[in-house]
Amino acid sequence: MCGIVGSIGKEDTVSILIKGLKRLEYRGYDSAGIAVIDQKGLILVEKRAGKVKDLENEIGEWKPDTNIGIAHTRWATHGEPNELNAHPLMDCKNRIALVHNGIIENYGSLKKILADRGHFFRTETDTEVLAHLIEEFYEGNLFEAVRQSLQEVEGTYGIAVISSLEPDKIIIARHGSPLAIGHSGGGMLVASDTAAIVDHTNKVVYLEDREIAQVSKDNYKIETIEKVIVTPKLQIIETDIKKIEKGGYSHFMLKEINEQTQIIKDSIRGRLDRESGTARLDGLDRHKKQLIETDNLIILGCGTSYYAGLIGGYVIERNAGIQVNVEYASEFRYKNPVVRKNSIAFAISQSGETADTLAAMREASRKGAVCLGICNVVGSTIARESEGGVYIHAGPEIGVASTKAFSAQVMVLNLISLLLGRMRIMSYDEGKIYVDRISEIPQKIKSVLDEADCIKEIAKLYSDRNNFLYLGRGFNFPVALEGALKLKEISYVHAEGYPAAEMKHGPIALIDKEMPVVVIAIKDSVYSKVLGNIEEVKARKGKVIAIATEKDSEIQKKADHVIYVPETIDSLYPLLTVLPMQLLAYYIAVERGCSIDQPRNLAKSVTVE
C-alpha cells in the first residue's frame, strides 16, 4: 500500500528519505512527496505525480539545512493521483505536514464541520481532513493535538506528522496500517515497512493498533490513544540487503520466480520428519489437541493467498478428513459467518498486514475460533495477533504480483495437511511417501524453470491476444485461477480461470480461433476428463496451451503447445504447474512493454478495505 518514511536527528535527511521511498516502491504507488523543516522553522514540501525518480529529479541538488522530515508514496483512494493530492498534506497555515496510509471513513462529516469553522481545503483527499483537525486541536502540544484528532476519526490510519511549531519531534500513530520506529546512531527513523530503513538499522519497535508515539532524535515515548503508557518491545529484524535488490535480473518478478527452488527448500528445511512420516511445525504445537479434535477449519485470504488457501482446502480435506471452508477474507465478516465452538481459522497473508484478512481473523476470533497465521513477515500484525501459526520463509517479495510467496504458502499448507493427516487418518507408510515426494519438489521446480525459453516463445506467439481462458480441475483448478490473475495483474490482458468442467456451462461461448486456452492436463485422477475438455475447445477452433506431465505423448496430439512438468503426487502438482503460469504471464507482459514489478493501480500490501 502507501509507504511512509521519517527521519529525525540525521544531517542527510533528504537522501535518507528518498532512498527509503525507493525501498518502498515495490508496494505500488502513483505519486510521491517529501516535507522537511529547515533551520528557519519553515516546512518545505516537494511532491510529484509518478515515480520516486521524478521526485528525485525535481529535487536535484536540493539540500536544505534540516535534520527532520517525512516522506510518502501514495496509492490513490480519494482523489486523482496528481501532484495536488500527493502527500505530505498541510493545514491552513502551512505549519503542520502529515502523511497517511489508510482511509478516513468519516472524512465527509469532519470536513463539513471544519469548513464551517473557517478551514479551507486544497485537495480531494480524505487525509487533508486530519491535518486540519490537528490544527484545530493544537494548543501548544502536537502530541496531544494528534491524539485528540484521532479520537474523532473513524477508519484506518498509519500517520506521521511534523510541525514547524515543534521542529524537534515526529508524531506517529497507527490503527490498521503498520508503523515501526527504528533506532539508528545519531537519530531515529520511522517507517511503514522496515525495508525503508534496513540500510540504517536492524533494531525496531512496532506500534500496535491505537498507539501513538512521539519520536525525537534521542528517544521516543509510546502511549495508547486512551493515554495508557506502553512499554516498547525492541525487535531485531533480519533482512539481507541483497534479497531486496534485483541481483542482475531484469525484473524483481523474474528474480522471484527463479528463487522458488531455494524458497521451497527454505520452507521445508527442518520441518520434515521422515522417521515418523510427518511434519514438524513448532508454531502449531500448542494447538495440537485442538487440531486433532476440530471438525472444521476455516481458511481466510485475499487474491493470490485465497487461491493458495483453495489448494490447502483440497489437500487438508483429502489428507486429514477435516471439513475446510475457504473464504474470501473481504467477505467473511459481512456475511455473519457460522463459526463452530471448535473451529480453527488460518489467516493467510504474505505481508501479514492485509486489512481484509486481519479484519476477518479478528471476526473469527470474536466468534470463538482459534486463529492461526500463515504469513511471511516476522513481526507483522497477523503474526503478532494470531495464537500461533507457520512462517512461509519466502524472504522479501518485492514484485507486486506474488509468485514465490504463493508457492511457499502452498507448500506450508501441504505440510499442515501432512501433520493433521498423521494425527488423524494418514498411515505411517503414506506419511513417509508424502515426506519423500515433498523432498523432491525443489529439484523438480528447477527442472521446470530450466524450460523457460520454451514458455518465452509461446508468450511471443500470443502476446497480442486480449483474452485468455485458464482451465484446471481438482487441485489444479485454483492454479488456473492464479494463472489468470497473474496475466491480468502484469500484462493487463483479460483472463478468466474456471474449473475445466464448467467451461461448457457458459465460457465455451467465448471460444474461437482467436482464444488461447491454457489447460492444466497433468496425469492425475481427472486426466481423462480434462482431455475431453480439450476436445471441446479444439472443436471450436480454440488454441490450446497444455501443462502436461513429462513423457505424455498423447497430449501432443491434442494441444497446439505443450509445457511439461515432472511427475509427482496429485496434491503437490500445483507447486509445479503454477510455474509455467507465472512465466507465461511474465513474458507476455515483457512483450507488451508493461511495468512488470509495479503494475498500474495495484499495491503490494493492501491495508485498506
Cis, peptide link before residue 88, omega less than 30° from 0:
yes
Confidence of residue 331 (pLDDT cuts 50, 70, 90): very high
At 316, which helix (H) or strand (E)? helix 303-320
Judged against a pLDDT cut of 80, whether residue 75 lies above it is answered with: no
**Mean pLDDT calculated for residue range 71-77:** 85
Note the pLDDT of residue 515: 86
Tens of pLDDT, residue by residue over 206-265, are 999 999 999 999 999 999 999 999 998 888 877 655 566 677 888 889 999 999 999 999
Note the pLDDT of residue 1: 56
Confidence of residue 42 (pLDDT cuts 50, 70, 90): very high
What number does CATH give the domain 242-444? Answer: 3.40.50.10490
Note the pLDDT of residue 392: 95
H-assigned helices in 367-451: 381-385, 404-424, 428-449
Which value, to the nearest 10 degrees, does the dihedral of the CA atoms of residues 424, 425, 431, 435 take? Answer: -60
* Residues forming beta bridges with residue 467, ordered by sequence position: 494
DSSP E strands in 13-59: the ranges are: 31-38, 43-49
**Mean pLDDT calculated for residue range 511-522:** 90
| 108 against 78, higher pLDDT | 108
**Mean pLDDT calculated for residue range 422-433:** 96
Fold assignment, 451-609: Rossmann fold (3.40.50)
Confidence of residue 538 (pLDDT cuts 50, 70, 90): confident
Which residues are annotated as catalytic? 2, 604
At 344, which helix (H) or strand (E)? strand 344-349
Contact 558, 538 (CB under 8 A): yes
Query: pTM of this prediction?
Result: 0.77
Confidence of residue 604 (pLDDT cuts 50, 70, 90): low
**Mean pLDDT calculated for residue range 555-578:** 95
Residues belonging to the chain: 609
Q: How many C-beta atoms lie closer than 10 Å to residue 567's C-beta?
A: 17
Note the pLDDT of residue 120: 94
Tens of pLDDT, residue by residue over 340-361, are 889 999 999 998 888 899 999 9
Note the pLDDT of residue 606: 58
DSSP SS3 for 600:
coil
Residues of the chain with CATH 3.40.50.10490: 242-444, 451-609
Level-2 CATH architecture, domain 3-239? 4-Layer Sandwich (3.60)
Lowest-pLDDT range, 28-37, 419-428, 463-472, 584-593? 28-37
Mean per-residue pLDDT of the chain: 91
